[in-house]
Amino acid sequence: MDLQGFGHLLVSGTWVTVQLALASLVFGLMFGLMGAAAKLSPFRVLRYMATLYTTLVRGIPELLLVLTLYFGGSQLLMWFMGFFGYDEYIEISPFIAGVGALSVAFGAYATEVFRMAMLAIPKGQWESAYAFGMSPVQTFFRIILPQLWRLAIPGLGNLFQVLLKDTALVSVVGLNDLMRQAYVASGSTKEPFTFYMAAALIYLGLTVLATLTTQFLERRADPAGKGARA
Amino acid sequence: MSWEWGIIIEYLPRLLDGAWLTLELVLVSGLMGLALAVPISLARSSDNFWVRALPFAYIFFFRGTPLLVQIFLIYYGASQFDAVKESALWVVLKEPYWCAIIAFTLNTAAYSAELFRGAIQAIPKGEIEAAKAMGMSPPLMIRRIVLPRAFGIALPAYGNEMVLMLKGSALASTITLLDLTGMARTIIARTYTPLEMFMAAGLVYLVIGAAMIGIFRLIEYRFNRYQYYKHTPLPANIDPQLRDEHIDD
């Protein structure tokens, strides 16, 4: 495959893609945990809000989310900041819009994964921790979260794959990610197939890497798999 | 923040025109993808390594790369080769509509084939053995036992895949098609009301998605009706000799 000196563009684009995916993963996990907490909370208002969030976001195309946050994000943010008396112009970069849209989308799906994992942990785990005199917060961080993690990894791994592929959508609003650099390179060389194929193969490499990482984490989080007593 | 309800109402008919194209894309590529997925999934679950290898590579590629790359590969990529440009295929490949259909079909076929493979492997061994014991030939067994059973098992997951397909169809707007998203972007370019139009488009997507989920639930209810069968209790005053202790309790 002859890249005609555009290889470094693809490499820099790949780096942007990886940064975008990881940043969205971090925020997406936070949204997911908060969503699951809200869905399982005793307060009806919180449960309704979380259900509204997951239903809305899971039914709307990711591309539409990216476009909305990029083209309407500054308007939305300025309106919101207006309540705090801040009325300067706020501009939203493609990267920020991308992280926002992708993490909101990831969070909606992750909410379900975390909720299912939380429900799969036996009630006795909570009760025995309380019997030892732990507070609910201590119980959550010491007893529940480590088990939650183990149960949630396979689901989260699948979601991360989806997230990785969705990063390509942010190129539509002009982020210089892998997809966009392939577009630029194919524009000046008139060889679109070569560069899109190269981009496809790099994405394939990234998803394989993500799968291997998930498998590694899965094995590491499973005490039975390491030969210890479960 | 100003919110223009008037513009939403004014442009709603055009938005719904876009929704028709979205529905058309999903329906056409969904049906073609289904037709393609069945042979691929059968080959993928073969015992022979060489029969299995090609579908595996196909599914691996299409599930591991973004849909956007696949669309661009077909729409922009095909024009790189003079051989393609001079062949009869160019009539199809120069149209963004057909490029979108081809990309969506290949994409959904890969995902559905993987679903069906899982379903084929989830069919209880005893049913396959029973079919063999009845003297069915492999094609007859596939037609009468394997495919209907696999379809029933895969249906709920297949419904999800179709909703993902609906969301993926928004990418058609990147190759100049005026689907729901494309139409919204065109209207925004004219009126500059991004929040209003994208929200309206998003709601239309939600409605279509909800309708699709409902339809799939109906199909599932019909197709897997043996799972939903409710045993009607016998009247209490029935002749005790008619009672079957194994059936009612």
- Domains detected in chain A: 17-177 (1.10.3720.10)
pLDDT the model gives residue B64: 94
Looking up tokens 């899109």, which residue turns up? A196
**Distance from the B196 Cα atom to the nearest Cα atom in chain A, whole angstroms:** 9
CB contact set of B29 (below 8 Å; sequence gap of 6+): B100, B101, B104, B105, B108, B165
Residue B152 CB partners (closer than 8 Å, separation 6+): B223, B224
Taking a C-beta distance cutoff of 8 angstroms, is the pair B40, B63 a contact? no
Q: Does residue B248 surpass a pLDDT of 80?
A: no
How confident is the model over B74-92, as a mean pLDDT? Answer: 85
- In 3-state terms, what secondary structure has residue A127? helix
Q: Which of the four pLDDT bands, split at 50, 70 and 90, describes residue B236?
A: confident
Contact B66 A179 (CB under 8 A): yes
A chain contacts of residue B66, beta-carbon cutoff 8 Å: 165-169, 179, 203
For residue A230, the model assigns a pLDDT of 43
State how far the Cα of B249 lies from the Cα of B243, in Å rounded to an integer.
Answer: 10
Q: What is the Cα B4 distance to its own chain's centre? A: 36
Question: What confidence tier does A229 reach under pLDDT thresholds 50, 70, 90?
Answer: very low
- Of A109, A110, A134, A95, nearest to A33 by C-alpha is A110
Q: Is B246 left (phi over 0), alpha (psi -120 to 50) or beta?
A: alpha
pLDDT value at position A91?
84
> Against a cut of 0.90, is the pTM above it?
no
pLDDT of residue A85: 80
**Residue in B64, B73, B210 nearest the CB of A204:** B64
pLDDT of amino acid A226: 58
What are the extents of the domains in chain B? 5-123+133-226
Determine the pLDDT at residue B26: 96
Q: Which residue has tokens 């979601």?
A: A159
CB contact (8 A) between residue A192 and residue B174: no
Asked if A71 lies within 8 A of B168 by C-beta distance, the reply is: no
Q: How much is the mean pLDDT over chain A?
A: 90
The pLDDT value given to residue B233:
72
Choose the weakest-confidence range: A9-23, B72-86, B100-114.
Answer: B72-86
B167 touches chain A (CB under 8 A): yes
Contact B202 A64 (CB under 8 A): yes
Q: Could you give the percent of chain B with pLDDT greater than 90?
A: 72
Window from A182-191, B208-217, B232-241 with minimum mean pLDDT: B232-241
CB-CB under 8 Å, B66 with A168? yes
Comparing A39-53, B39-53, B81-95, B210-224, the range with the smallest average pLDDT is B81-95
Q: What is the mean pLDDT of residues B233-238?
A: 72
Average pLDDT of every residue of chain B: 90
- Cβ neighbours for A19, distance < 8 A, ≥ 6 positions apart: none
Residue B82 has pLDDT above 90, yes or no: no
Taking the C-alpha atoms of residue B46 and residue B40, their distance in angstroms, rounded to an integer, is 10
pLDDT tens profile B113-159:
999 999 999 999 999 999 999 999 999 999 999 999 999 999 999 99
> One-letter amino acid identity for A89?
Y
Residues 6+ apart with CB under 8 A from B240: none
pLDDT higher than 60, residue A150: yes
Instruction: Give pLDDT, residue B117.
Output: 92
Check residue B244 and give its pLDDT: 65
Instruction: Return the residue of B nearest to A171 by Cα.
Output: B68
Fold for B5-123+133-226, please state it: MetI-like fold (1.10.3720)
Q: Which residue has the higher pLDDT, B65 or B246?
A: B65
Lowest-confidence region among A61-70, A219-228, B129-138:
A219-228
Does any CB of chain A come closer than 8 Å to the CB of residue B221?
no
Tell me the two tokens of residue B164: 């993902």
What is the average per-residue pLDDT within A115-137?
Answer: 92
Average pLDDT of span B190-203: 91
Exposed e or buried b for every residue in B193-202, given b needs 16+ CB within 10 A?
bbbbbbbbbb
- ipTM for the complex shown: 0.88
pLDDT at site A61: 95
| pLDDT reading at A1 higher than 80 | no
DSSP 3-state percent helix, strand, coil across chain B (nearest 5): 80, 0, 20
Q: How far is B93 from chain A (nearest CA, A)?
A: 13
Distance in angstroms (rounded) separating the CA atoms of residues A11 and A163: 19
Other C-beta atoms within 10 Å of B142: how many?
17
| Chain A residues inside the 8 Å CB shell of B80 | 190-194
Q: Using the beta-carbon criterion (under 8 Å), do B65 and A191 form an inter-chain contact?
A: no
Count A/B contacts: CB-CB distance under 8 Å: 120
Nearest CA in chain B to A81: B1
Q: Give the one of B73, B79, B170 whose C-beta lies nearest to A200's C-beta.
A: B73
| Contact criterion met (CB < 8 Å) for B67 and A196 | no
Mean per-residue pLDDT, A76-83: 84
CA A89 to chain centre: 28
**Contact between B169 and B71 (Cβ < 8 Å):** no
Write phi, then psi, for B185 (nearest 5 degrees): -65, -40
Mean pLDDT value across residues A202-216:
94
Going by the DSSP 8-state scheme, the letter that residue B65 receives in this structure is S
To the nearest whole angstrom, how far is the Cα of A36 from the nearest Cα of chain B? 21
- Contact: B205, A64; criterion CB under 8 Å: yes
Q: Residues with Cβ < 8 Å from A6, sequence gap 6 or more?
A: A181, A185, A188, A189, A195
Inter-chain CB proximity B198 and A196 less than 8 Å: no
Question: Given CB atoms, is A62 within the 8 Å cutoff of chain B?
Answer: yes
| CA trace torsion B23, A63, A65, A52 (10° rounding) | 40
Task: Report residue B15: phi and psi, to 5°.
Answer: -60, -40
- For residue B1, the model assigns a pLDDT of 65
Interface test with A, best of B60, B63, B72 (most A CBs within 10 A): B72
